[in-house]
Amino acid sequence: MPFLFLRDGNPLRDIRGPYIVYAIILANCAVFAATNYAPNLIFQLGFLPSWAGLYNDPLTLASYQFVHGGWGHIFANLLMLYIFGDNIEDSMGHAKFLLFYLLTGAGSALMYGAVEGLAGAEPRTLIGASGSIAGVLAAYVMLHPRARVLVLVAFKFPVFAPSWLLIGIYIALDVLMAFTGGFGRPDAASVGWWAHIGGFVTGLALVPLFKRRKVPFFAPAVHYPETPFPEIERETGGKIRRLLPFLGKQEVADRAYEADKAKRKPLAGWAAVLVVILKIVSYISLLVYLSLEFEMLSRIAGLDI
């Protein structure tokens, strides 16, 4: 990917917290820890397409979504789930979101198996939440296409852009890699590009059935006077806010801040602690992921570091 998703500026409206998203993240982390101690679990929980003649358990259509092959794999998937999943859970409700997540993952695996089977490819075990995440992205672009998202381009430049553009680039690259075989990249064969596409298509098909009736398609972006990310603004000590009086916007900004604060429901104590822990783990994982990416790029460039 040419950029790394960091966060969006889209507040929750109907739920106190994305508890299913948190539960899925914890389940993925637990399975990842288990597979590090017992690697054979990867093949027991992973999905092997039925056309291979070795299809053993339909439950693997769900279990494979919680298995990952490395730190970079799990971090990238869970980061996107953390960023985009909360608003989709908010738009569907807890139970419907969980079912939506599992069904998009199942649809992802079935498309992967169908395409690989038609191509006569050697059977390979499918693992990872990428297909489910692609379904979440499909829902996000249908429900919140104009929400602004913060990304890190080339792991260096922070950029704000509408979600439809960024998710569109993400899916377009998946389609391109699927049809070109990854441009001959040695690691491309290990990526289930068609699984990503399958999850996205399944998500597009299921969103109308799972969203709340009152939730509109293609909702407008949430606008704030001073910044699309007011909580980041406040956490930096209000350095930018101190300039607003000179721009004649201080009163407007204060009203927006108080209105936003009044709408927010306080989290339960355990949930607040969980959010802090997830943030710490996310930051640590980001550092690990960036170091691994730098090492890989160094090897490709032939650098001795």
The reported pLDDT for the residue numbered 274 is 63
Rounded-to-integer distance, Cα 123 and Cα 120, Å:
9
The reported pLDDT for the residue numbered 212 is 93
How many domains does one find in the chain? 1
Judged against a pLDDT cut of 90, whether residue 185 lies above it is answered with: no
Domain that holds residue 85: 3-222
- Mean pLDDT on 215-219: 87
- Kindly state whether residue 179 falls inside one of the protein's structural domains: yes
The reported pLDDT for the residue numbered 71 is 86
- Kindly state whether residue 33 falls inside one of the protein's structural domains: yes
The reported pLDDT for the residue numbered 211 is 94
Query: What is the reported pTM?
Result: 0.71
The reported pLDDT for the residue numbered 101 is 97
Residue pair 210/92 in contact by the 8 Å Cβ criterion? yes
- Kindly state whether residue 141 falls inside one of the protein's structural domains: yes
Q: How confident is the model at residue 224 (pLDDT cuts 50, 70, 90)?
A: very low
The reported pLDDT for the residue numbered 285 is 55
- Kindly state whether residue 121 falls inside one of the protein's structural domains: yes
- Kindly state whether residue 178 falls inside one of the protein's structural domains: yes
The reported pLDDT for the residue numbered 305 is 36
- Kindly state whether residue 16 falls inside one of the protein's structural domains: yes
Judged against a pLDDT cut of 80, whether residue 277 lies above it is answered with: no
Q: How confident is the model at residue 236 (pLDDT cuts 50, 70, 90)?
A: very low
Judged against a pLDDT cut of 80, whether residue 142 lies above it is answered with: yes
The reported pLDDT for the residue numbered 115 is 84
Query: Which CATH number belongs to the domain containing residue 86 in this structure?
Result: 1.20.1540.10
Q: How confident is the model at residue 177 (pLDDT cuts 50, 70, 90)?
A: confident
Q: How confident is the model at residue 280 (pLDDT cuts 50, 70, 90)?
A: low
pLDDT tens profile 15-41: 888 999 999 999 999 999 999 888 888
- Kindly state whether residue 289 falls inside one of the protein's structural domains: no
Q: How confident is the model at residue 208 (pLDDT cuts 50, 70, 90)?
A: very high
Judged against a pLDDT cut of 80, whether residue 165 lies above it is answered with: yes
- Kindly state whether residue 54 falls inside one of the protein's structural domains: yes
Judged against a pLDDT cut of 60, whether residue 247 lies above it is answered with: no
